[in-house]
A and B are shown apart, each in its own frame.
Chain A
């Protein structure tokens, strides 16, 4: 019994520790496609940056909005409800890859100049 409990706890800790190895910082620049305030998820159409990896293409990225996320516009805090589709944002997030992102800070920025 003792060995079983210790083994179970050890497995839980190992499983909990492994994801942190790939904990990374991401910056996503793009426009909001949708916000789901109940599920606290923001969907952003990201704009690839020069120098990004080849696998970074214009696509929709779903970003979780934890309770501690900072949201701002012109340096002033705003409510989650102010994140509306069509607005341009810069999102600093952490995660394993583009399918597993959690926002740390969301900034509403002006739209890009028309070309």
Chain B
């Protein structure tokens, strides 16, 4: 009987081979399934094919489309030029009790925006950026307050914007207005809903506005 037991045990060579094989299979599964699902890293494309990317990380704002590189600034000393017009965005959010949301714009490195926001009561606020390459988020300003105005020159390409959290039971409304060289925004809420926003360009190439002072109609002072 002990001979039978000895005979049924695998040899050391087989065990080593089995371990090596298991490691190889584990590596394949790690790269094909675990990395896409957990970290949003999808080198083989299997994550998107199997739908594993859904819970991995934030959705990205709408693609730049025709804007693309036109939103990358060409820096000339103190000024920067862009290949397209800037965009403007005005949005209003309701925050329920202890609810939080993030609203972030996608900006190229060096791209600029200006903004003003106001809340109906003080909110926990974190103005921050998330590098497009998946690096750690960088907080610029963290405080509890009811308004903010300022400008940003993106220190890196990625998503830049705000985290706002209602610190109490009373619902809060936040209104944000911004203008800048971004091509899309992403709204993410604590109830796990995500919405993309596509702020409109101030004008598209062909239909630029009339210069000031040459608009049709009577001059402002004679308008009654």
Scan residues 26-69 of chain B and give those whose CB is less than 8 A from a CB of chain A: 26, 29-30, 33-34, 37-38, 50-52, 54-55
Assuming A6-B22, A10-B22, A23-B37, is B55 touching A50 (CB within 8 A)? Answer: no
Scan residues 1-25 of chain B and give those whose CB is less than 8 A from a CB of chain A: 10, 14, 17-18, 21-22, 25
Number of A-B contacts (CB under 8 A): 91
Assuming A20-B34, A21-B54, is B17 touching A2 (CB within 8 A)? Answer: yes
Contact A5 B191 (CB under 8 A): no
Contact A51 B21 (CB under 8 A): no
Q: Produce 1/0 per residue, A75-115, CB < 8 A to B.
A: 00000000000000010000000000000000001101100
A65 contacts chain B at the CB level, 8 A cutoff: no
Assuming A49-B97, A50-B94, A50-B96, is B38 touching A23 (CB within 8 A)? Answer: yes
Chain B residues contacting A10 (CB-CB under 8 Å) are: 22, 25-26, 29
Closest Cβ of chain A to B81, distance in Å, is 40
Contact A25 B21 (CB under 8 A): no
Instruction: A53 to B194: give the CA distance in the assembly, Å.
Output: 12
Closest Cβ of chain B to A32, distance in Å, is 15
Chain A residues contacting B98 (CB-CB under 8 Å) are: 27, 29, 90, 109
Assuming A23-B38, A51-B189, is B21 touching A6 (CB within 8 A)? Answer: yes
Assuming A2-B21, A50-B96, is B37 touching A25 (CB within 8 A)? Answer: no
Instruction: A49 to B98: give the CA distance in the assembly, Å.
Output: 9
Chain A residues contacting B30 (CB-CB under 8 Å) are: 13
Assuming A1-B14, A5-B18, A51-B191, is B37 touching A17 (CB within 8 A)? Answer: yes
Contact A52 B191 (CB under 8 A): yes
Decide if the interface of chain A is mainly helix, strand, loop or mixed.
mixed
Closest Cβ of chain A to B23, distance in Å, is 9
Smallest CB gap from B17: residue in A? A2
Chain A residues contacting B94 (CB-CB under 8 Å) are: 50-51
Contact A14 B18 (CB under 8 A): no
Chain B residues contacting A50 (CB-CB under 8 Å) are: 94, 96, 99, 171
Assuming A10-B25, A23-B37, is B191 touching A49 (CB within 8 A)? Answer: yes
Chain B residues contacting A1 (CB-CB under 8 Å) are: 10, 14, 18
Contact B37 A27 (CB under 8 A): no
List chain B positions with a Cβ less than 8 A from chain A: 10, 14, 17-18, 21-22, 25-26, 29-30, 33-34, 37-38, 50-52, 54-55, 94, 96-100, 168-171, 189-193
- Given A2-B18, A20-B55, A23-B38, 9 further pairs, Cβ under 8 A: A9-B22, A21-B37, A51-B99, A51-B189, A51-B191, A52-B191, A53-B191, A109-B168, A112-B97
